[in-house]
Amino acid sequence: MSRDPRRLRAVSGPLGSPVKPPSGHVFRVERTRGPVWYAKYRLPNGRQVQTKLGPAWTERGRPPAGYFTKRRAEDWLRDVFDQARRGTLPGMVVTGATFADAAAEFLRYAEHDRALKPSTLRGYRSIISAYLLPAFGPRRLEDITPGEIERWRTSLRSAATPPRTRLANNTKNRIVVLLHGIFVRACKLYGLPVNPVAGIERHPVRLTGDIEVFSPEEVWALVRAAASEQDAAIFLMAAFTGLRRGELVALRWRDVDFAGSAVRVRSSYSGGALTAPKSGRVRSVPLAPDVARALDALSRREWFTGEDDLAFPGELGSFLDGSALRRRYAAALRRAGLRQLRFHDLRHTFGTRMIATADIRRVQEWMGHADIQTTMRYLHYAPREDDARLVAEAFSVEGQAPAPIERAAENLAQ
């Protein structure tokens, strides 16, 4: 092992204040697979840090990414000292907390302070348990660096699945976004000077904009194949109103305005809890005659027809079991001989049909989209019969008839 005898020192604190500066040096270690550069430095609180920088570059020319020359290693250490002078060096703060502590605090904050939906909290807990705690759980918050997170992000996969199992980039990004949120909370609560996830790039995601939907004939085939009158009404209403499954389950008779041909969406039920709709606002959706007739038939049953009763109740008038509804929906698809589309695709069916007849603002209001960009995914389903004529007019040449394609082909052959 060879060491560089020169030591690098930070000279002063902000505005020349008397601050005990960190000191340290870089050194090269000979390994079997090649030399490696390290840095070792002492923080103002007396804590010593030693970190591996990367393999040493011993060839001529500019070193590739990830490799270090002596000069590049010294520049890295100078940057550490600069961060120390600015007060942004993570290791200068001792939080006394581990990542597991920060994750638990984030979940408490999300549940009690922000009152997030149970389904959202379940997703957070699942990601933290499967991906974040195995990677960072016992680590001190101040020891987790951007470089470490970047390496973890690059190799991200499920800890509970075989090594070759790959996660979709969209899933990886959700995991990174949650990690970022945990550190945002940790910076506020524990005094971390910087969020080590702030500069981490997201995985590229290719959005096709393609949506699978039912045709009107398929919707009616699904309704006819339903196992009960209530299921038939739910399937029909999902397609004709665009309500989410949780909003259908939470619908009460007082929300159905037969005289005004409208349904008011006031709440949603999922994960065993009743919450506000996803947009956070009550909205009104048109009630088509076919759906009104189906609901009117249900309202004439013997039980659960009061104003406060659920329109689609489960056993003894309680909330309908969402998992059981999904199973009956899948069975109805099989009986009808239809494609195995998701229940949520009934909502997409509403969006694609409505964008052809109503303006985008009304579709946004009916579907409860907080952001109009979400509604715009349906725009390419709107029929535009006039578009071809507009293109033809744009390329027309005055006084010249367009040559037949056959004539153009003959000219090329000659």
Active-site residue set: 244, 278, 344, 347, 369, 378
Strand-pairing partners, residue 273, are: 270
- The structure tokens listed for 150 are 């970047």
- The structure tokens listed for 114 are 């922000």
Q: Which residues have CB under 8 Å from 95's CB, separation 6+?
A: 140, 141, 142, 186, 190, 191, 192
Residue 348's CB is within 10 A of a number of other CB atoms, namely 21
CB 28 within 8 A of CB 4: yes
CA angle 370, 372, 374 (to 5 degrees): 85
Which pairs from 113-122 meet CB under 8 Å and 24+ separation? 117/268, 117/270, 117/271, 117/273, 117/275, 118/270, 118/271, 118/272, 118/273, 118/275, 119/270, 119/271, 121/271, 122/271
Nearest alpha-carbon partner for 209 in 347, 381, 365 = 381
Exposure b/e, 23-33, CB count within 10 A at least 16 = b? bbbbbbeeeee
In Å, the largest CA–CA distance within the chain is 91
- The structure tokens listed for 269 are 């039920």
CA angle 266, 270, 275 (to 5 degrees): 35
